Amino acid sequence: MSTATQTVAVGSEQAVHRQGFGDVLSAEWIKLRSVRATWWTLAALVGLGAGLTVVVCWGNADWLASPEADESPGAFLTWGMMIAQITAVVLGVLAVTSEYGTGMVRATFAAVPRRGRVLAAKSLLVASLLFVVGTLTALIGYFGGNYFLDREGIGMALEGDVLRAMYGSGLFMAGLGLLSIAIGTLLRHTAAAITITIGLCFVVSNMVALIPGAIGLFLERVMPGSAGTVIATPVSFNPNLLDAWPSFAIFAAEIAVLMTLAAVALRRRDA
């Protein structure tokens, strides 16, 4: 093979490209783009996140405008994101576990032996993608849903807490993606990681509210499924939770802890 011979000779004399984080980032971006699951989950995020918000605002607008309403219209303006969070979990988990399921992870780590770079690149890409798509989805949901609220004279302007909930939705989705990457890295199994992450965020986070007293209240406030959502809603359904940014700080700290565990496990375990 003439090309091969030629390059071997070159390789021994010339400086060869040294692998950097940018290389790993572009490799992971090609991986993410080149499977359909990425596009299906993002399409589902937009469909569920914006679509359900519009439907729920349409269905509740006249009740919210009536005197017997006991919820703020603001609680409904990003309602769909609470369901769409499942897609963020799927995207984050699959970014990692699909490699373990197929054995491709060995090709990945042979190509990028500094494994932390792979985790960092996946995290950066999934979080960025979810932030952008999550924010856009919230905006589409807002414009669609607020149209029906406006008709009843209870529309909310895109400012203050409403505006914060827009990019807050992006932050929540990005955070969930990171949480899912960390759990996927720790468990290395698609079904287990999706089940546990969704169970943690949907089921356990809501069930701890049943625990009475101060402990129950504390747990309710710090569970990732609760702490993460506050920033994504203009007005929270749950009055027990802390304000948006303190809640988000708790959520971010939990992600940091899990991500650290994931990075340590990734370096220590055989691939």
Partner 1 sequence: MDSSDIGAGDRMIRAQALTKTFGDKVAVDAIDFTVRPGRVTGFLGPNGAGKSTTMRMILGLDAPTAGSVTVNGHRHQTSPAPLRSVGALLDAHAFHPGRSARDHLRWLAASNGIPATRVGEVLELVGLESVARQRAGRYSLGMGQRLGIAAALIGDPPVVILDEPVNGLDPEGIRWVRALARRLADEGRTVFISSHLMSEMAMMADHLIVIGRGQILADMSTEDFIAAHATSYVRVKSPARTAVAELLTRSGLDVEGVGDALHVQGLDASAIGDLLHHDSLPLHELTLVRSSLEDAFMRLTADSVEYRSKVGAVTAGAAA
The binding site for partner 1 (CB under 8 A) comprises: 1, 3-5, 7-8, 10-20, 23-24, 26-28, 30-31, 34-37, 98-99, 102-104, 106-114, 268, 270-271
Provide, rounded to whole angstroms, the least separation between the CB of residue 85 and partner 1: 24
The tokens for 186 are 């720790």
For partner 1, give the closer residue by CB, 38 or 137.
38
Residue 213 beta carbon to partner 1: minimum distance, rounded to whole angstroms: 45
Residue type, 163: L
Q: Which is nearer to partner 1, 112 or 174 (CB)?
A: 112
What whole-number distance in Å separates Cα of residue 27 and Cα of residue 32? 9
Least distance between partner 1 and beta carbon 264 (Å):
14
Q: For residue 16, what is the enclosing H or E element?
A: none
* Matching residue, tokens 């952008």: 132
Q: Pick the closer one to partner 1 by CB: 43 or 111.
A: 111
Q: Helix, strand or coil for residue 18?
A: coil
> Smallest gap, in angstroms, from Cβ of residue 95 to partner 1?
11
C-beta of 14 vs 68, nearer to partner 1: 14
Radius of gyration for the chain, computed over Cα atoms and rounded to the nearest angstrom: 22
Closer Cβ to partner 1, 115 or 221, answer by number: 115
For 77, the token pair is 């303006």
Report the b/e string of 113-134 with b at 16+ CB within 10 A.
eebebbbbbbbbbbbebbbebb
- Give the nearest distance from C-beta 181 to partner 1 in angstroms: 17
